Amino acid sequence: MMYPLITLDDQTEIVHSEMQQDGTVKVYIEKPDEKDCFHYATCYLPEYRWDDIYGFNNSEIERYQEVVESLANLIIEFSQHGGFENASGF
């Protein structure tokens, strides 16, 4: 299951998975694109391993890396509690 995390000012959506048994969390980034429909990439925490990148250039991935790094502790915590809504008690 994937849980919503944040929508950035450029309409990029970031979602994350539940924590897997091996301790990893999949972070999926997707941005609408008029020509290609969507650009997307996957980052695996805690090692920040990027995979399956389509449509994003290096500077965009660097920006998303910064965002993921700044939210990694929360993402990991939320991944263990059913996403933000369940972890936050809302």
pTM, full prediction = 0.89
Which residues share a beta bridge with 29? 14, 41
Work out whether strand 37-45 and strand 49-54 pair parallel, antiparallel, or are unpaired. Answer: antiparallel
Predicted confidence (pLDDT) per residue in 21-33, tens digit: 999 999 999 999 9
- The pLDDT mean for the chain works out to 92
d(CA 34, CA 17): 27
**CB contact at 8 A, 55 and 36:** yes
